Structure 1
Amino acid sequence: MTSTFYDEIGGHDTFVRLVDAFYAGVAEDPALRALYPEEDLGPAAVRLRMFLEQYWGGPTTYSEQRGHPRLRMRHLPYAVTPGQRDRWLTHMLAAVDGLGLDAAHDAVLRDYLTRAAHSLVNSLDAGS
């Protein structure tokens, strides 16, 4: 039986901790919080958790409920600036800090999250 990254870092509980810590940071960051149209961040947290779990080899609930992730397409309606990317990464990487992963898994997760955040920038408007 082959284990996945999802399994190796603790599965569902680890991704819940990651996403909860991330959204706690978002909730306290007015500039980043403004990007989320829903008053309650709970539904966004569930979507992100399901996406990350599926990406890393966990349950395929995201695709079953929402279809193919199409990450860039889903973010196109929102102007994502380099500044917003940096704020997102600040909170996400702080959340990763709290997981206490071993160095190898930590590096892999940080690399993916950083590359994903950079790929979603679709506006150079410095005013955001």
Structure 2
Amino acid sequence: MGAVSGQAAQSFYEAVGGESTIAGIVARFYAGVADDPVLRPLYPDADLSAAERRLRMFLVQYWGGPTAYQAERGHPRLRMRHAPFAVTHQARERWLAHFRIALDEAALPPELDARFWEYVQQASLFLVNTQDDPAPDRQPARSVPTVPPR
């Protein structure tokens, strides 16, 4: 048998620089959200610090860091947590634009940036729950899947 290394493989969380890097990305992202006319109305609190904290804890845990998110909030259940908000394709595009800026400013190595970006693209698509132009006489709600005609 070959020699066994005493070191475990480095997690993505460690590779990007840990919580400080993720916190910087999330802070830059929310700086963009704060002034965005499409996204800002989706956040009911006047202060975005609680939302920023939740996203930071979630991403830290998702990428292999401490599990404070689960300890405090339980299973992520992302679709359920976002169901009360009308997340449209337009909102997703704006969300991704701010996240792209935040990742660019973080200047991660290309392979780490690509992996992070791939995740946020997939996750954001999963959270879209409303068509872009809801009827004006009703509050936007989750979209209902339709059955294709036979």
Does TM, normalized by the shorter one, top 0.5?
yes
Pairing of 1:59-74 with structure 2 (within 5 A): 59-74=66-81
Contact map agreement 2:90 2:132 (CA 8 A) in 1: no
Kindly report the root-mean-square deviation, in angstroms, between the aligned alpha carbons of the 2 structures.
Answer: 1.1
User: Which whole-Å CA distance do the structure 1 matches of 2:114 and 2:27 have between them?
Assistant: 20
More helix by share: 1
Higher relative contact order (CA 8 A, sep 6+): 1
User: Which whole-Å CA distance do the structure 2 matches of 1:110 and 1:76 have between them?
Assistant: 23
Shift of 1:2: 2.5
> What do the CA deviations read for 1:86-127 (whole angstroms, capped 9, x no partner)?
010110111011111111001000000000001100011325
Unmatched 5+ stretches in structure 1:
none
User: Which whole-Å CA distance do the structure 2 matches of 1:106 and 1:16 have between them?
Assistant: 15
Instruction: Count residues with an aligned counterpart.
Output: 128
Paired position in structure 2 for 1:104: 111
% of aligned pairs identical? 52
Pairing 1:43–2:58 present: no
Paired position in structure 1 for 2:4: none
Q: Give the ranges of 4+ consecutive aligned residues of structure 1 lying more than 6 Å apart after TM superposition.
A: none
User: Which whole-Å CA distance do the structure 2 matches of 1:46 and 1:58 have between them?
Assistant: 15
Letter in 1 for 2:21: T
Q: Which of structures 1 and 2 has the bigger CA Rg?
A: 2
Pairing 1:88–2:95 present: yes
Decide which of 15, 18, 36 is 2:22's aligned counterpart: 15
Unmatched 5+ stretches in structure 2:
1-7, 135-139, 141-150
Letter in 2 for 1:108: R
